[in-house]
């Protein structure tokens, strides 16, 4: 990938270089030296390195096709940063959100975690509204982008549900590819970054709360740990989604009131948000026609109750559960 980047004609979209940096795959590798350099770093001899490379190529060739979320480098539209699907990763607002969520993850006080996560969602919602109004005043012709978030085992269904809830609260759509181990989130750049940051933090918070709740269970309370954990995480995801959506709705109402008081065209806000939401739904229908709903079952009432309580203590304030969408043709495994 680094060699491909070196040979790629400019301009290259910013997200390409960002992902290479995340993989520590930057540098001026020469084609003949890529495999040799990797083998040396990994302590492999040439035969093992070649075997690994062939195995990887065979795996890649066998993978099923997936939706193309962003124009690849060298193709039409690839160099448009705002259509690429990510917002500016180093913005001051995003730095503040990350700092708030880091504190929420580390605190041992549930009320503090709730306040910190709620403040983070409030900042995100306000920023999203500002971005929407800014984009609504320009003729750009952009399409919503997308990101993929891991929903690996264990409890992949609960993780997919958490992605769905966080996405819905931030005006995005989510589709779960359960056999591939990820959920695809579609939306506008600032909203996609928000979903990615929030999902990562809330997954940490949910896991920590689950482990604490598991330790507090009465000895001999019955159901298997896995069943309890799964019910806990499903309940956590639904309740967090409710609270996130409430924070977003409050921020939208506050923005509309502020526009009224400032004698600004407040009637612009809701149409702009509605138009952006419709564009995301159209993108969903284009990339994933005929998606289905995947039913999640709850088999432990105690786990469900504990998960709901943990979500109430951990992050925001809200209602309304959803089931994660699933790519057509994937069997319901529950």
The domain boundary, picked from 62, 77, 101, lies at: 62
Which run of H or E residues covers position 28?
none
Q: How far from 21 is each of 1, 26, 43, 145, 299, CA to CA, in Å?
A: 11, 6, 22, 21, 43
C-beta of residue 279 within 8 angstroms of C-beta of residue 144: yes
CB-based burial, 85-120: b 16+ in 10 Å, e otherwise:
bbbeeeeebbeebeebbebbbebeebeebbbbbbbb
Domains in the chain, number: 2
Residue 151's pLDDT is 95
175 and 32 within one domain: no
In a domain, 70, yes or no: no
In a domain, 333, yes or no: no
109 and 256 within one domain: yes
The domain boundary, picked from 46, 62, 78, lies at: 62
CA dist 293 and 323 (Å) reads 6
Q: How far, in whole angstroms, is CA 99 from its chain's centroid?
A: 18
165 and 22 within one domain: no
C-beta neighbour count of 200 within 10 angstroms: 15
58 and 14 within one domain: yes
36 and 178 within one domain: no
Residue 201's pLDDT is 93
In a domain, 68, yes or no: no
91 and 58 within one domain: no
Nearest Cα residue to 237 out of 311, 306, 148: 311
Domain that holds residue 156: 87-326
Dihedral sign, CA of 120, 240, 237, 131?
A: negative
Nearest Cα residue to 132 out of 257, 280, 316: 280
In a domain, 118, yes or no: yes
C-beta of residue 91 within 8 angstroms of C-beta of residue 124: no
In a domain, 67, yes or no: no
Return the structure tokens found at 187: 């939306």
* Averaged pLDDT score across all residues of the chain: 79
Residue ranges, the chain, pLDDT below 70: 25-32, 74-90, 136-141, 217-223, 259-267, 297-300, 304, 310-334
Residue 171's pLDDT is 94
Residue 134's pLDDT is 78
223 and 131 within one domain: yes
135 and 28 within one domain: no
Nearest Cα residue to 223 out of 111, 306, 153, 289: 306
28 and 171 within one domain: no
161 and 25 within one domain: no
Give percent of the chain with pLDDT exceeding 90.
25
pLDDT digits (tens, 9 = 90+) for 52-76: 999 999 999 998 888 888 777 766 6
In a domain, 153, yes or no: yes
HSE of 7, CA atoms in CB hemisphere, 13 A: 6
Q: How far from 86 is each of 46, 62, 273, CA to CA, in Å?
A: 39, 29, 18
Residue found under tokens 């996560």: 117
302 and 194 within one domain: yes
Q: What is the CA radius of gyration of the chain?
A: 22
Residue 214's pLDDT is 77
Nearest Cα residue to 186 out of 325, 333, 29, 59: 325
Residue 13's pLDDT is 77
138 and 203 within one domain: yes
CA dist 132 and 175 (Å) reads 23
């Amino acid at each position: 990938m680094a060699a491909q980047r070196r040979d790629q004609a400019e301009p290259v979209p910013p997200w390409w270089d960002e992902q290479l940096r995340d993989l520590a795959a930057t540098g001026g590798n020469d084609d003949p030296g890529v495999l040799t350099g990797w083998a040396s770093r990994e302590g492999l001899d040439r035969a093992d390195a070649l075997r690994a490379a062939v195995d990887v190529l065979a795996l890649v060739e066998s993978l099923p096709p997936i939706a193309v979320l962003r124009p690849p480098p060298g193709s039409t539209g690839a160099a448009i940063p705002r259509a690429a699907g990510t917002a500016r990763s180093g913005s001051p607002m995003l730095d503040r959100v990350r700092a708030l969520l880091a504190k929420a993850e580390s605190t041992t006080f549930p009320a503090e975690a709730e306040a910190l996560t709620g403040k983070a969602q409030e900042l995100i919602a306000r920023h999203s509204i500002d971005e929407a109004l800014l984009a609504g005043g320009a003729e750009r012709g952009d399409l919503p982008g997308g990101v993929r978030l891991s929903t690996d085992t264990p409890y992949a269904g609960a993780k997919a549900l958490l992605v769905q809830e966080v996405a819905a609260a931030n005006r995005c759509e989510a589709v779960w590819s359960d056999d591939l181990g990820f959920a695809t989130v579609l939306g506008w750049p600032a909203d996609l970054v928000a979903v990615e940051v929030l999902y990562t933090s809330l997954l940490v918070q949910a896991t920590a709360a689950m482990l604490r709740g598991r330790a507090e269970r009465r000895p001999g309370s019955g159901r298997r740990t896995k069943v309890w954990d799964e019910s806990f995480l499903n309940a956590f995801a639904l309740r967090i989604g409710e609270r996130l959506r409430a924070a977003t709705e409050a921020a939208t109402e506050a923005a509309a009131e502020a526009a009224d008081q400032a004698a600004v065209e407040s009637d612009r806000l809701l149409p702009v948000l509605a138009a952006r939401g419709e564009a995301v739904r159209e993108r969903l229908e284009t990339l994933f026609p005929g998606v289905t709903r995947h039913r999640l079952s709850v088999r432990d009432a105690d786990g469900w109750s504990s998960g709901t309580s943990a979500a109430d203590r951990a992050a925001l304030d809200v209602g309304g559960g959803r089931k994660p969408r699933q790519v057509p043709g994937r069997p319901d495994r529950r």
